[in-house]
Structure formats: C-alpha cells, structure tokens
Chains A and B, each alone.
Chain A
C-alpha cells in the first residue's frame, strides 16, 4: 500500500519541481538515509572489488595486484565439474522447497491463528511456534539427526503406525535430503513467517468481515474472499523478495547434515564455494567465481520476478 502512496505523491510533485528541488525539499529524509547508504556502500559494494579474485589464481601472499590473471579459467573449471552443476540444482531445489512449503505453512498457520478467538491460546501458540527460530542450527540439526536415525522417533512412529515395514534410512539416502531440509526449515521458521501475515490480516477492515457475514458467507468463504485477498499484496512483495533469494538455500543446515553418501544432493553452491576456497589446497579464485555466479543469477531472478509482477499488474518491489 505504501508504495502507491509515495508514487502518487512523486507524480504530483514532478509536474512542478525538478529532481534537485525534490531532493532539497526532502533533505531531512536524505540526511537520515546517509548512514544506511554508507553502510551499504561499505559492506555490500566495497567488497565487490574482491570479485577480481574470480579471474585470478589468487595467492594471499601475492595479493590482489600480483596474483596471476587467468581469465575465465575458474568459471570454465566450475562448469566443467559435475559436482558444481549438481550444486546449482541442489541449491534451487532446496530453495524452492523451502519457499513453497515455508510460505504455504506460514499462511495456513496465520489463517488458523487469525480465526482463533481465545487470546491466551492464540498468544501461546504463536510464541511456541516462533521460538525455534531462535535456536542455533547446530542444535536443530543435532535433534533432527536423532529423530531421523534408524532407531529414532520418526522411524518408531512410522513403523508403529504400520506405514512402513522397515525403518527408513532418512540420513543416508540422497533423495530424502532435500525434503528433510525442507521439513526442518518449515519447523524452525513457520512461526516467524506467520508474524508478517498476521500483521497484514489485522489491517483488514473488520467491516469487510461483517458485510460478508451479513451476506451469508460462512467461515471458509470469509477466509477465501476476505482474508486471502487482504494479504495478497504482502504475499506478492514477499514472493518477489524470496525469488531474489532463491540462490540462498541456506548453508549451515546442509553443512551440518551432509555426509559422504548424500553429497550429490546436499552440497549447495555455498558449500562448494567453501570447499574450493578453504580445502586442502585453497583455490580462492574458484570459490569467488562460484559466489559471483550466485549473486548474478540472484539479481537476474529478482528483476525477472519484479518484471513479471509488473506485467501482471501486481504489487512490485522496485
């Protein structure tokens, strides 16, 4: 909603004032944004000089200026390696799983909480579900490894219910890895994800619900026709942002859960980048090249999603 308000304002101003007049009239805002601008320049733009390492056979003792230039060799190496190509697939697969299930779970839980009338119950559930967000991934993965072991709780449950005959080897089969990561992420982040949707739902005008109720809409119809359209703009903005982050499948969880058997499914671009950069014989150039590839794809995805949203006449981010 806010985006639109500022846009109309800007359009109104444009007719009379030029860019600099606008700038001058908003100088308080400009001063306030200077620290953030500096922060971004210093920590997000300045380190990009390091990208030149991607085109070097970088040796720390020689430094950026004296290391050997190798052109596109590092990229050629990466894209000739099956391990790296698989890591691109893994990164996308796990991000998509996280995105789809994370969002769906968060919206579902938010709707349920929104429908609960008992304040105490609602607050308790909300707190309990978002507490795992604050747990360290090391602890979460440790718990998951116990739960999903052959003699762990998950297998006891499945076997006990008669769903499977033999315990499932969750931790040793590559095919399960993505879904385990997805499940753990949903468990850890679902409560946190609901906060923004619940906020969006509270801003829906209560008279809409009343009107719908008078028109004879039941609870499910009210959810379908009032609540969901009410959070659509929030959903779209979050979706665009998340698509920009599709290359970020997480790092800790895969790194902690991986083992030799599942490496073809577990290793994301970040893990490959780490292995190349700080392995037995450090190849920083390859690590940086992998990271650079990731960033560039991320930017393309973000602009792409934004463009599509624009075409579809939805809320846009940029």
Chain B
C-alpha cells in the first residue's frame, strides 16, 4: 500500500512539474501580424509547422495577403502608423517602406554573441556593405540570394519562353535568335493552327499590366547581351560604368519591328495589350499561348496548373535569345567595343530590400529578431525547407530524399496550406546552396530529387535535347557585377521622371507594335523616341551616379 502511495505521489509530482517545465520552455505566447506584399493562401488553422513554431517559440502569426495594387495598398497601410503590421513585407516596393520610415533598424539587434546565425548570414564576405541603405541602416535582411557552401543555380529569371512541345516538334532544335524564334512559332502555327480541342493558338503573348509591364519593355537589354538591369543597360567594361536607358536607342527598334511583323502575321493578338494578369495566367494555363517573354517566377501559377493537369508538353522552356548579327548592322551599341554575347544568367544576387522588415509599431522587436535568428538555424531551416523527417522526407546514406508522394505533396497547394510555413518562410532570411553535409538546402535543388521526380515527358525531353538540366540551355553563369543588378536601385529622387518614362512606354509601345505598315511604324517609333528620350536621359544619368556609388561602397573606396 505504501509503495503504491509512493508511486502515486511521485507520479503526481512529475505531472505537476510538466506544466511548469513547459511554461519555462515556451516564452509568453504572442500574436504577430504579418503583411505580405504578394497574393497568397491563408495557412490552415492546424498547420503543423506553424503549430511547431507556436509550441517552441510562442509565436502565432496572423497573415494578411495583398489583394489589389501593391503600391497603393502599401501607401494606405503606411498611413496608419500606429497600427502597422508587425512584420511588413513590401514585396517589390519595399523601398516605399524604407523611405517612409516605417521599419526599424535591425543593426543594433544583431551581434556575433547574441545572434550568431544572422551575424554569419549578413557579415560573411562583407555582404553587409551592400545591404545597408544610404543612411547606414539595415531595414530588411534579404529573403533570397545568400548561398552557403556551393551555389546551385536554377534559373527562374527573364527569358523568352516557348512551349516544350514546339521544340519537340522542331526535333529538339532550339532557336538562338529572335528571328529563329518567331520563325519557329510561325511555322508551328501554320501546321497546327489550333489545339486538340479546337482553340486557336496565340503565337506570342505580351503582358502589359501595371508593374509587370517588364514583359513589354525589358527584352531589348537581353538581346544585346546584358542580364536584367531593369530599364537600363550598363557597360561593365567601362571604368565609368556608362549607363543608358535602352528603349529610346536605335538598337531597341529592331525588336519592336519584329514584334510588329509578328503582329501583322497574326502571331500576336491585340487583346494581349488590354489583358490583365489573371487573364494572362488563364491563357497560359490553357496551353493556348505558344510563347512569351517573361520571368519564370511571374507565371509560376500557370506552370503549376499545367503540371497538375499533366499537360507537361504545354509547359515552357526558357531560352536565351539574342539579336541576329544582321539585325544590328549599322546600329550603334552602348559602346564602340560592345559585344553581343549571351548573358542572361547572373551569379546570385542578394535580394536586397526584399523580405519582411520589423515595423516601428511592433511591440516585440527583440522577439522578432530572435525569431529570425532561431528560424535561420540549421535545425529550423531543415524544417522550413524540407519539413519533418519521416513525414515529409527520409534520409538514406546521409542523403535527404523524398518518396513520390512526399514530393508531389509539395506542389499541391492544399497540402502546402496545412503542412508548410511558406507564407512566413518566403519573407524571412534563409539558407540556400548546400548544407555542410552536402545536401541541398532546397529539396527542389537536390540532384537526386530533381532527376527522380521530373515527369517522364521532361526526362525524355532533356535526354533528347542532350541535357541533364534546364539551366544547360543557357550559357555559363557570369559573375555578378559589383553593383548587383541595377533594377534594385531605389529611384525615389527622380520618381516623377521615371513615372513619365514608363507611362509613355505603356501608352505607345502597343500602338507601335500594332502599326499597319512600315511607314506608320517608323513615324510612330520616331515620335515615341522623341517623347521618351528626355526622360531616358535623366534616368540613365541618375542610374549611373547610383551605380558608381554602389561600386565605391562595395570596393571600399
């Protein structure tokens, strides 16, 4: 009897201790509001990763996703300065948050002793020099682009895209120039005017809506051999980093001339210029659009739905096109010794000023930095990127692998909502590249997984093309210029001129592409150049100054 009593007593004591220990382990539970500058899906109530974060770190998230125009939404959110979201992700317009002074400086919170992960993350290789804003403060730790160990390159940036089945139809011969590209599209449509169900094909789509108008206004820089510098081209061989806008230069004209020809041949539908993003994604998802210039991430939804519908042959292959040599005959390029060589893929760029900052109205800035720090640990990064061992992946001989089901789950948005913390993970600093043990940080970059879980169509496509991965359709990765990529530069001081510069392009380029004949094309082009060039002048000069400042900063002069 005594024994039993003793056991019960001991048991009672242990049970009494449990809550105490748990209370000690988990800090006070707080709810953190998060605004995401991109549309997204709310995670489910019982999402397993958020539950784990709540258990271990005592933090619960409340997400608000963008619905509507980004700049306007940010402007409205910023005007209520006492009720800002705690974690504020301004997506592609995060400069507005920095300029508006709604984010706190993170530097005072980061030190080698208190936050070793973050410290290593941003101080290695003097990264910090590039990350500081002009006032010497750090508002946002980049959400992407900081690699550990070995960088695994996966290209998702600007390129000309074409449905894989067209390349297969062309005996896996890929076009190298814009001429070949449009010739292929034309030939394909001539023989296959409609899809299997009778919908006519659109040869080439151009998305012109809002900030995504880069599909309309950006291609020329790549055609003359530069990576994505936004609306300018930079001569990196020039010590003065000569910078100019390209849309108003003679070497831009041949591209729009080709679009005009494609339009006259009926390869481009005029409705493309009045299309909004949703209509564009819908058209791509239907498999009726043969090709377009865009950035891989910009139509990810379409790729996902095509894959989900097993229409692999309708997914897109990214191609690095250039001008033909005779396109540029007698046309001056940005410099006398300019070479038109393929240069689409840059070494990785730190996604400067992209990601979530901590707002000035956040009541727990220390807890937030702690959250960043903890989630950046190897242990948490594995959970965030790979999931839970045994549930979402398994380990064999030290390699992290996935079963077919586990892998397919990852692209299922319903599963994602319940089993990943993507909404917060995409905004926070993360580890990319490879782990110390050689596994890739991202499952999508783990070579075994890439090869194993490609669709049979894709495996076959790559084999017949003589490649093992999509990136091999591009030339070698070129080291990143010291200033990064120029589109990242904050253009606040000349915003009025930039706005005018872009407004004129939005208005007139469609008309130029739709010109009825050569005379009309030339007249419209000349009028356009005349109108846009003065703003281009200001823009190019400003960007040059900013680039020189960045170069001086990076080179420590």
Contacts and interface: CB of A to CB of B under 8 A. Distances in A.
Query: Are A and B bound to each other?
Result: yes
Interface of A: 59-61, 83, 145, 149-151, 169, 171-172, 259-261, 263-264, 274, 277-282, 284
A280 B230 CA distance: 15
Given A260-B208, A260-B510, A264-B507, A278 B74 contact: yes
Nearest to A151: B271
A117 B274 CA distance: 46
B507 A261 contact: yes
B550 interface: no
B76 A280 contact: no
Contact of B101 (A61, A171, A277, A280): A61
B270 interface: yes
B71 interface: yes
A277 B209 CA distance: 20
3 cross-chain pairs, A with B, having the tightest CB-CB distances, nearest first:
A260-B506, A278-B75, A281-B495
Given A60-B81, A169-B270, A171-B271, A278 B72 contact: yes
B495 A280 contact: yes
Contacts of B194: none
B274 A280 contact: no
Q: How large is the interface on B (under 10, 10 to 19, 20 to 34, 35 or more residues)?
A: 35 or more
25 contacts: A149-B274, A150-B271, A171-B274, A259-B208, A259-B506, A260-B273, A260-B503, A260-B507, A261-B273, A261-B507, A263-B503, A263-B506, A264-B507, A278-B69, A278-B72, A278-B73, A278-B74, A278-B76, A279-B72, A279-B499, A280-B71, A280-B93, A280-B495, A280-B498, A281-B96
Interface of B: 69, 71-76, 78-79, 81, 93, 95-96, 99-102, 208-209, 213, 269-271, 273-274, 276, 279, 491-492, 495, 498-499, 503, 505-507, 509-511, 514
Contacts of B72: 274, 278-279
A117 to B, nearest CB: 46
B286 to A, nearest CB: 14
Contacts of B279: 145
Contacts of B209: 259
A38 to B, nearest CB: 24
Query: Which of A60, A83, A261, A280 neighbours the largest number of chain B CB atoms within 10 Å of its CB?
Result: A280
A274 B69 CA distance: 11
Contacts of B503: 83, 260, 263
A278 B69 CA distance: 10
Contacts of A278: 69, 71-76
Contacts of A149: 271, 274
Contacts of B71: 278-280
B274 A279 contact: no
A282 B75 contact: yes
Contact of B507 (A59, A150, A263, A284): A263
Contact of A61 (B74, B100, B492, B511): B100
A60 B360 CA distance: 13
A280 B502 CA distance: 12
Contacts of B76: 278
A139 B276 CA distance: 14
B257 to A, nearest CB: 19
A261 B96 contact: no
Given A60-B81, A263-B503, A263-B506, A279 B495 contact: yes
Contacts of A145: 274, 279
B273 A280 contact: no
Contact of A261 (B93, B95, B510): B510
Contacts of A264: 507
A60 B274 contact: no
Given A149-B274, A280-B95, 11 more contacts: A60-B81, A60-B100, A61-B81, A83-B503, A172-B510, A259-B274, A260-B208, A278-B76, A279-B495, A282-B78, A282-B100
Contacts of B81: 60-61
A131 B270 CA distance: 33
Nearest to B79: A60
Contacts of B74: 278
A172 B69 CA distance: 21
A151 B506 CA distance: 23
